[in-house]
Amino acid sequence: MKDLFTRSLLNPVLSPDPKHDWEALKVYNPGAVYHNGRYHLFYRAVGHGQNWHSAIGYATSEDGEHFTRFSEPILDRDPANPLEHRGLEDPRVVKIDDTFFMTYAAYDGVVPRLHVATSGNLRDWHRYPPAFTDFQFTKMGGVFVKWKNGEPVEITEPKSPECDERTKAGAIFPARIGGMYWMLFNEFRIWLANSRDGIRWHAIPGPFLSPRKNTDLFDNVFVEAGPPPIKTEKGWLVFYHGINDAIQYHLGLLLLDLENPAKILFRSREPIFGPRESYELSGIVDIVPGAMKLVEENKDEELKKLLREAEQKGFMPQVTFTPAAVVVDGIVRIFYGASDQFICTAAASLQDIMTAIVD
């Protein structure tokens, strides 16, 4: 399957802003929704220094390429909440009836935990406690993946009991199914969950989607939930992240049954989008060992040296991370984090995507 999306000539459409300390280093991994004739973008932002943490910024646009951003975070960590010590990460946004739901991971520095916030106007958000109270990552079939000497290694035992609470990457379906809210979530493996109120969630035993190991496919090491699914006549269109042994983040797709989201009708064998441009191939990538510690210590020159060495050794992850896909007038516009440092956009015809599924 070929790359179906055309990148904006204006990429990156959002970059770090040195005038705002809270987003001076990195802006990436945005959620988005189209409402009242505008694109509303909610993005992860990181500043410098020992107090660095992730906050959620807010920007709007009429065309999806020229954005006006707010000077302050729309959501920031609560210093009194230890679960949010390192902030709020990777928001995804969806509208169901008259309510906007945002999922994000609160990160304490060790374990991310998925949370939900709701809003009626996209500016005032009510935040809730962790979305899952009974999820246990390894007991539910989860496997951690670490790269050692350039090779992926699966780890089945968490470093600590807290690590078994790991939940993130929540993609809520934009409509109830059978009277219930539904969501795909997490990384390494993807699970399916449902909820009566959209706030408190229960994971269905799984995982729902796993890597296709022992192949040369784009998702042979681990998978992660992408943006909220898109409803079509043929089924729920789902984009998900597939990571291979070269640490390349590609976008694959699924088609799920409209009435039974646990039923997979189609899974792509080839990606539909992935890293190619210079701004997607290197940068301050979070998973490079030691990178964020140097960020915390403000050691810019040492950070640059570390990233150069990672690139030379073939250990520079190539990242196009896509938490947002918005359909406007038959065009699917994705917003994605490039190299964990910038926000970019690309567009494709929904009809072309559905035709590729049929073929």
- The CATH-assigned architecture of domain 6-282+318-358 is 5 Propeller (2.115)
In whole angstroms, how far apart are CA 131 and each of 36, 96, 193, 348? Answer: 29, 17, 10, 33
**Residue 147 confidence (pLDDT):** 78
List pLDDT tens digits, range 281-290: 766 656 566 6
The pLDDT of residue 54 is above 70: yes
The pLDDT of residue 273 is above 90: yes
List pLDDT tens digits, range 142-192: 999 987 777 888 988 888 888 999 999 999 999 999 999 999 999 999 999
> pLDDT category, 206, cuts 50, 70, 90?
confident
List pLDDT tens digits, range 292-344: 666 666 666 776 676 666 555 555 467 899 999 999 999 999 999 998 899 99
List pLDDT tens digits, range 75-100: 999 999 999 999 999 999 999 999 99
| CA–CA dist 359, 345 (Å, integer) | 26
The pLDDT of residue 357 is above 90: no
The pLDDT of residue 347 is above 60: yes
Beta-bridge partners for 202: 194
Query: Which residues are CB-neighbours of 275 under 8 A, at least 6 positions away?
Result: 248, 249, 250, 281, 318, 319, 320, 338
Q: Where are the domains of the chain?
A: 6-282+318-358
Its sign, for the CA torsion 152, 156, 158, 162, is: positive
In whole angstroms, how far apart are CA 115 and each of 47, 89, 254, 259, 343? Answer: 22, 10, 25, 26, 23
Instruction: Provide the b/e sequence for 305-334 (b: ≥16 CB within 10 Å).
Output: ebbeebeeeebbbbbbbbbbbbeeeeebbb
The pLDDT of residue 226 is above 60: yes
What number is the average pLDDT over the span 12-35? 96
Are 322 and 335 contacting, i.e. CB atoms less than 8 angstroms apart?
yes
| CA–CA dist 185, 119 (Å, integer) | 21
pLDDT, averaged across the chain? 91
Greater model confidence, 359 or 95: 95
The pLDDT of residue 245 is above 80: yes
| CA–CA dist 16, 25 (Å, integer) | 6
β-strands 191-195, 38-46 pairing: unpaired
**Residue 3 confidence (pLDDT):** 77
**Residue 276 confidence (pLDDT):** 87
**Residue 146 confidence (pLDDT):** 85
**Residue 359 confidence (pLDDT):** 58
